[in-house]
Amino acid sequence: MSPHLLPLAAFVIVAAAIDLHSRRIPNWLNLAAAITGLSASVFVAGLPGLVDSGLGIAAGLLMLLPFFAFRVLGAGDVKMLAAVGSFAGPTGALMCGLYGMIAGGLLALAVMLAGRRRKAAVENLRLMFTGLLLRMQGATGPDADLRGNSAARLPYGVALAAGTLTWIYLQSSAR
């Protein structure tokens, strides 16, 4: 593993543990990670590293911002992927986000199948997709109960950590 990716691995593990415990990813942790990622990128690659890191932050933000706008994810999750992008660059941020989405889908499926909330989960999925389609056409749509008691709240930081650690592993094994 590249030495500059060690702090990234530590960050996502800590963020996942905190998210699992408190269902929040603190701003101070995301900010510290983003500053560390920017600094490491500048140290490793100079000005091009700074640009790559900045683009990674933007890619991470833009990838998850629509999910935050539709209240599917929390702001901490969005900021976490942005901080990951400060280390991974734009392509890495998108890949970490993609792997995180796969991990999140598997996590959601496991929680849904293991829990007693299958009906609520299916109804929320229906409402989310109906609302999304209506909003894309400019109309208002129904809101899924993503924050209420009928929906199981998933610690998405865990999924993002799994996606990021997968990306780190694949980066390391490619060398």
59 and 101 co-located in one domain:
yes
CA distance 159 to 7: 18
97 and 30 co-located in one domain:
yes
95 and 133 co-located in one domain:
no
Looking at the 3D structure of the chain, how many domains does it have?
2
Domain with 32 in it: 3-113+155-173
pLDDT at 150 over 60: no
Are 147 and 136 within 8 A, CB to CB? no
CA dihedral of residues 170, 173, 174, 175 (deg, nearest 10) = 140
78 and 42 co-located in one domain:
yes
Would you call 163 helix, strand, or coil by DSSP?
helix
* 135: amino acid identity, one letter: R
Are 49 and 92 within 8 A, CB to CB? no
Phi/psi at 146 (5° precision): -80, -20
* 91: amino acid identity, one letter: T
pLDDT tens-digit readout, 68-84: 998 889 999 999 999 99
CA distance 96 to 78: 12
pLDDT tens-digit readout, 86-127: 999 999 999 999 999 999 999 888 887 777 667 777 777 777
Nearest in space to 3 (alpha carbons), one of 57, 39, 44, 51: 44
103 and 122 co-located in one domain:
no
83 and 136 co-located in one domain:
no
132 and 69 co-located in one domain:
no
72 and 133 co-located in one domain:
no
97 and 57 co-located in one domain:
yes
67 and 137 co-located in one domain:
no
141 and 129 co-located in one domain:
yes
CA distance 50 to 45: 8
14 and 30 co-located in one domain:
yes
pLDDT tens-digit readout, 9-23: 999 999 999 999 999
CA distance 82 to 56: 7
